[in-house]
Every structure is written in C-alpha cells, then in structure tokens.
Amino acid sequence: MKNPISFPKKIIRPIANFLKREEKQLENRKKVLEKEDPFSDPTRLRDNAAVDAEAAEQFGHARIEAMRREIDRRLIDIHKALSRIKIGRYGVCEECGKMIDTERLMVKPDATLCIKCEKKKGK
C-alpha cells in the first residue's frame, strides 16, 4: 500500500544525492582509519618492546575502533534513509505516521521520527 503523504521527487532527489555523497565520504573515512590503526601496522609485532609504545598502540587502536563504530552507526542510518526514499516512506515518522518537519530533515536528513515522537522516546 502506498503512503498517501510523501515529499515530491524534486525535493527527495537532492536529499538522496546528499545521503549518497555522505555515504561515500564515510566509506572513504573508514578506509583511512584502517590504515591509521596501529594494530594494522605490519611492523607492530616485531617492534613492541617498550611498554609506553604498547600503551600508545592500545590507545590509538581503541580511538580508531570508536570512530569506526560511530561511522558504522551513521552508515546504517544513511542506508535506512535511502531505503525509505526508495519505498516512498522518507520523511514519515515511524511511530505516528505523520510527516517529519522539513526543518528537522534539513538538520538530520536521516531522521525517522518526528520531534514529538523523538521526545517521547527519550523519556
């Protein structure tokens, strides 16, 4: 069943393009982080005698893993928004079924809840 309320394609297309660009940037950022991870350094196993070097590597790895997890969460939100665009449910609140305010979507294009339902969820 098609949703009776939806955004016009001329509004949705730039949003989809923005989300696709952001998706690509995040994928590229993940690749850069992979190279920066001290644990991915092939010389690491041969040269980690100093305790402070090991601690620095552990900290660096933990920092990069946290950034990777955040990127993965963001990518999931983007994929979800792109799927909602594809099926014609973009901009419709998943809880109440009403349109999400356009100002909210401008700030958070992957929003799935209207502000009222988001506030209820936060309580």
Q: What angle separates helix 9-36 from helix 51-87, to the nearest 10 degrees?
A: 160
Concatenated DSSP letters of the chain: ---S----HHHHHHHHHHHHHHHHHHHHHHHHHHHH-GGG-TTTTTS--SHHHHHHHHHHHHHHHHHHHHHHHHHHHHHHHHHHHHHT-TTB-TTT-PBPPHHHHHH-TT--S-HHHHHHHH-
- What is the pLDDT confidence band of residue 8, given thresholds at 50, 70 and 90? confident
- For residue 4, what pLDDT is reported? 57
> Is it the case that residue 1 has pLDDT exceeding 50?
no
- Given a contact cutoff of 8 angstroms between Cβ atoms, the answer to whether 43 and 102 are in contact is no
The domain limits of the chain are 9-90
- For residue 43, what pLDDT is reported? 59
